[in-house]
A and B are shown apart, each in its own frame.
Chain A
């Protein structure tokens, strides 16, 4: 059974550019969440989607956005990149968060130069 797949694994972008990250959840999982991990702040919640609807949003600026498609795949977009956006971006999926918890992908390492 395939796990949560995130692409690309690594990205290098220049300040001011925008970036799109992709996440394919485990088959049958309809809840997809995104987290940012940095050495200073640890893991911070970005947003959660279920059946193409955003149910929760973390405390991040509007430059961070996401969406979910009808096949449950999700993308997150960061516009006008800043140096501080350099981080490991992790995606997690769940069949039923109330009962089964979350399974994480390997992440996308974004470096902004």
Chain B
């Protein structure tokens, strides 16, 4: 059974700092991994999707890496801003069979202080 863990559970940083959020998963047989952000009481906004054959994806100040063999992904946020404050979730989709579900971690609550 796939399990996804995100560390740390919460992170508070001053504005401008570069930071790394971690995601680990127990079953390396994944199809892809997706990072989301969630603002309080809102839905999920997709940030980056990494296919199992890829090592990283970049979008603006965000860079996500994937090491499938070790079961790890990181989300790097450069020059953080108060608007980045949100909960960040990673989700994996397992490969094999008719598997169309995402398994989520519990998220990292990020606070960027002005």
Contacts and interface: CB of A to CB of B under 8 A. Distances in A.
Contacts, number: 60
Interface string A75-113: 000000000000010101000011111111111010000
Contacts of B68: none
Nearest to A42: B106
A72 B43 CA distance: 20
A4 B43 CA distance: 10
SS of B interface (majority): strand
Contacts of B43: 4, 6, 90, 104-107
Interface residues of B, number: 25
16 contacts: A6-B43, A35-B104, A43-B104, A45-B103, A48-B100, A48-B101, A55-B100, A56-B101, A98-B32, A101-B46, A102-B46, A104-B45, A104-B46, A106-B42, A107-B42, A109-B41
